[in-house]
Amino acid sequence: MNKKAKLKILIAEDDVDLLALYDKALPDLVFDKKLVINGDKALEAYKTWHPDILVLDIVMPVMTGYLALKEIREALKDGNTTVIISTSIDDIDEVSKFERLGIQGYIVKPFDYKKIAYDILGFFKKTDPARADMARKKLEKILRHHLP
């Protein structure tokens, strides 16, 4: 694996406004992004695109985040891909059933778009510390550049 390569991140979220916010929050110089609107499309993209990181919303039409994660961890026997779920504050109790299948972390909505890239890299660090640190350095450099 080329440690300098951009991190491939697949985001499954049925709210197009949140997808737009993720897109804005994750710089193209650090992340290679694919955005999809349900679990079924996430699974399809996961199989063909092989992301480093998958962000799954819990509540989605067609296929829920839980079913998509179950397919990835159990049927496809992938225990390596970093999976982060996103959930609303009131649904936090749901997280434990995802943890049993294996996730690296969770995002609570509404999220601060200025922090979300750092949060995601923090979760990715559990899987691949070297690439996460490299990406974080790149991110800090970009954000410093944007300061007034």
Partner 1 sequence: MAGSSEKIVIQADPEIANLIPGYLENRKKDIARMLEALGKGDYETINFIGHSMRGSGEGYGFSAISEIGTALEQAAKHNSTDEIRRRIDELAVYIGRVEVVYE
Sign (positive or negative) of CA dihedral 113, 117, 122, 127: positive
Q: Which residues make beta-bridge pairs with 109?
A: 88
Q: Which is nearer to partner 1, 22 or 124 (CB)?
A: 22
Considering CB under 8 A, how many residues would be counted as binding partner 1? 17
Q: Does 20 bind partner 1 (CB under 8 A)?
A: yes
Q: Does 144 bind partner 1 (CB under 8 A)?
A: no
Q: Does 30 bind partner 1 (CB under 8 A)?
A: no
Contact 132, 82 (CB under 8 A): no
Of 1, 2, 17, 48, the one binding partner 1 (CB under 8 A) is: 17
Put residue 62 in one of left, alpha, beta given phi > 0 → left and psi -120 to 50 → alpha.
Answer: left
Q: Which is nearer to partner 1, 90 or 100 (CB)?
A: 90
**Beta carbon of residue 86, minimum distance to partner 1 (angstroms, whole number):** 8
User: Which region, judged by CB under 8 A, interacts with partner 1, from 8-16, 44-52, 77-85, 96-104?
Assistant: 8-16
Q: Does 110 bind partner 1 (CB under 8 A)?
A: yes
Running DSSP on this structure, what letter comes out for residue 61?
S
Q: Does 137 bind partner 1 (CB under 8 A)?
A: no
Distance in angstroms (rounded) separating the CA atoms of residues 112 and 44: 29
Find the binding residues for partner 1 in span 65-104 (CB under 8 A). 88
**63 to 69, 109, 111, 113, 147: CA distances (angstroms):** 10, 20, 23, 26, 40
Contact 54, 36 (CB under 8 A): no
Q: Which residues bind partner 1 (CB under 8 A)?
A: 14-18, 20-21, 24, 59, 88, 109-114, 146
